Amino acid sequence: MIEDKNQTRTSISELGEFGLIEHLTEHFEINQKSTIKGIGDDAAVLEFKSKQIVVTTDLMVEHVHFDLSYMPLKHLGYKAIMVNLSDVYAMNANATQVTVSIAISNRFPLEALEKLYAGIETAAKAYDVDVIGGDTTSSTTGLIISITAIGEVNKNDVVYRSGAKPNDLLVVTGDLGGAYMGLQILEREKEVFKVNPNNQPDLDPYAYIVERQLKPEARKDIVKLLKDLKVKPTSMIDVSDGLSSEIIHLCKQSNVGAALYENKIPLDPQVISTCEEFNIDSTTIALNGGEDYELLMTISQDDFLKIKGNPNLTVIGYMTEKENGMHLITRGETLIPLIAKGWNPLKDQ
Amino acid sequence: MIEDKNQTRTSISELGEFGLIEHLTEHFEINQKSTIKGIGDDAAVLEFKSKQIVVTTDLMVEHVHFDLSYMPLKHLGYKAIMVNLSDVYAMNANATQVTVSIAISNRFPLEALEKLYAGIETAAKAYDVDVIGGDTTSSTTGLIISITAIGEVNKNDVVYRSGAKPNDLLVVTGDLGGAYMGLQILEREKEVFKVNPNNQPDLDPYAYIVERQLKPEARKDIVKLLKDLKVKPTSMIDVSDGLSSEIIHLCKQSNVGAALYENKIPLDPQVISTCEEFNIDSTTIALNGGEDYELLMTISQDDFLKIKGNPNLTVIGYMTEKENGMHLITRGETLIPLIAKGWNPLKDQ
């Protein structure tokens, strides 16, 4: 939240559209065998041979999906890639390529875009995906980022949302609610900063949850882990809108019900303590807070021994017949119907 | 430019993100064999077997790329698809799928989005592409449309920008400058409308060029024609930014020069007469006006007899050694260096 007033500002219009894309992507490497031709023609050319491919796309709009007053541009670039790769991994696929389109108002100098693309490049390298195309144009107001991610998968390995069966185990990776609570901390510090711009926030006690918000990691490792464990989930989805909403998606598309145990939901101690500080219920946050980018899956009970004790995977419930409905079973053993309260980007504008 | 004050307005927030996508795409058909799974999971699943695939993406921003005061939403949806398919055809590929993401402010009621999607559906049907995914979110100001198009092509049929050789013929499809002059007419009528809202514009004399602006058609037919004629261009690009800029792209990426004959540039009589009316040079418009979405290609002289006399293809020049540069040869036989004055969306904001 500290601005360097002496930074260099190069106007993007000086470079023009082609010069700009070239400048921003010249260091980007092509590493995937399936990339035949990347940036530089009317379209990229790819070849996947016998594999199936998965395609997913996401649009992020300033003031709706991110706030540049506490989201550094490099982190934003990184996160924009993660949001899309997470959807690829949720298909049990290996992410291979992305296209990145941005629209920017001229309040952004070239140096700001370089930071954004540095984050994109870092993410692409870390997750071994090629940036194969994109479009750079202007916007009348804020920053808009549109990413399409492509992945490859063997035909028999694809996991849809629709394969869950009654008695399958409901399993989630990592822990939940961190990204949402990190956002609460950042929003609070922004208000403090508005009142006293010289105040230096101490974010150390919140380091984990702030990082969950600003620099989430997509669970590429889980796709590999499942392969190593020889477990093919019966259904899978990424947790972008909150656990409750994702469970409902799996149930509706698989035509089953679900029982979720409150006491099994994995929470980081920092989420619990921050929820206490804000006087909000941590289960509510895990159920409805978004942006954790963990994977939620169902697996056959036959596979239980393969995943038992794995620190990356937590069994949080099981699937039921559709007629049984979708419920949270509280610590007090009360049944509460699950409802989708996840973030609705169309609601608040 | 006449608004129906009694139209129904349903707020989009009532439906939510998932409800909205479902509502807008429920009539969309899946026809391509390569589409295994369309909308409704974390990602779409596609399978192309031995074919290569091409991927291209484009971002359109209100007030930058389109003006809703004279661009009907249905036309806009249609055009947004065309812009992307044009890039697929420029690779000599067959377009198969698109993803469509939109961000909208709440000044758009559901009925407006339905019109936009009606145009998208019409285009998808007419060009036989499946809409396989997308994202719907809110924007703080205008309408943003981000489309990614995918196509398939036999490995040996892909045409890049980089294969032109000296002495190859420079060939363009259709005619040029129409979309730009159509825009001039619409801009003029908008100004007239501002002064006198009851004035009914007579666009009949400009029907062709206005249609070139509002409802361009991507040249799918040319990909088929080239196949039928057994002609594989040595290089190809779509004419989106003006002939001059596209010739320069081919030359730079192929490492050759070019000679373009002014008297060979195909112009519709309506372009010529409207240029006269506006007192501007029609060659300048063909060279620098954008959005014609024709295809510009180079073909070997050996193929000349195959294309000779075809009404869809006009030979407008030939490629030279790089050292000879890139020139327009005027009617008066003067050589003028080609320069890229094409539209720069980053320049004027």
Give the whole-angstrom CA distance, residue B48 versus residue B103. 30
Contact B95, B148 (CB under 8 A): no
Which pLDDT does position A344 carry in this prediction? 59
Burial class (CB in 10 A: 0-12, 13-18, 19+), B3: exposed
Q: What is the CA radius of gyration of chain B?
A: 21
Write the CB contacts of B43 (distance below 8 Å, at least 6 apart in sequence).
A54, A55, A56, A87, A88, A90, A91, A93, A149, A151, B133
- Predicted pLDDT at A117: 95
Q: How confident is the model at residue B197 (pLDDT cuts 50, 70, 90)?
A: confident
Distance of CA B205 to the CA centre of its chain: 23
Distance CA A147, CA A207 (A): 28
What is the model's pLDDT at position A3? 47
What is the structure's pLDDT at A349?
A: 33
Instruction: List, edge to edge, every strand of the sheet that includes B294-299.
Output: B235-239, B294-299, B169-173, B313-320, B257-261, B326-329, B335-337
The A residues from 153 to 212 touching B (CB cutoff 8 Å) are 153, 155, 158, 160-162
**In angstroms, rounded to a whole number, what is the distance separating the alpha carbons of residues A99 and A134?**
5
Q: Give the number of other Cβ atoms within 10 Å of residue A331's Cβ.
A: 9
CB within 8 Å: B61 and A103:
yes
Contact A54 B40 (CB under 8 A): no
Q: How confident is the model at residue A345 (pLDDT cuts 50, 70, 90)?
A: low
Q: Please, what is the average pLDDT of chain B?
A: 92
Is some CB atom of chain B closer than 8 A to the CB atom of A82?
A: no
Q: Which pLDDT score is estimated for A308?
A: 96
Average pLDDT value over all residues in chain A: 92
Does the distance separating the beta carbons of A61 and B103 come in below 8 Å? Answer: yes
Q: Mutual orientation of helices B73-89 and B220-229 as an angle, nearest 10°?
A: 30
How is residue B194 written in tokens?
């501002």
Distance CA A159, CA A168 (A): 14
Distant-in-sequence, close-in-space partners of B10: CB < 8 Å, separation ≥ 6: B109, B110, B111
| B42 Cβ under 8 Å from any chain A Cβ | yes
How far CA B102 is from CA of A103, A106, B65, in Å, comes to 13, 22, 14
Contact B13 A346 (CB under 8 A): yes
Q: What is the ipTM of this complex?
A: 0.90
**Tell me, what amino acid is at A8?**
T
CA dist list (Å): B240 to A18, B83, B209, B244, B347 = 13, 8, 15, 11, 17
Q: Is any Cβ of chain A less than 8 angstroms from the Cβ of B54?
A: yes
Q: How confident is the model at residue B184 (pLDDT cuts 50, 70, 90)?
A: very high
Q: Specify the pLDDT at position A343.
A: 58
DSSP conformation class of B39: S
A78-117 confidence digits (pLDDT tens): 999 999 999 999 999 999 999 999 998 888 888 999 999 9
Query: What pLDDT does residue A97 have?
Result: 97
Distance CA B1, CA B70 (A): 6
Percent of the residues in chain B that have a pLDDT greater than 90, as a whole number? 77
Residue A132 pLDDT = 95
Whether the predicted pLDDT of A340 surpasses 90: no
Instruction: Name the more confident of A326 and A16.
Output: A326
For residue B38, the one-letter residue type is G
Closest chain A C-alpha to B5 CA, distance in angstroms: 23
Predicted local distance difference test score (pLDDT) of residue A105: 86
Q: CB count, 10 Å around CB of A203?
A: 14
Look at A160 and B16 and tell me if their CB atoms are within 8 Å.
no
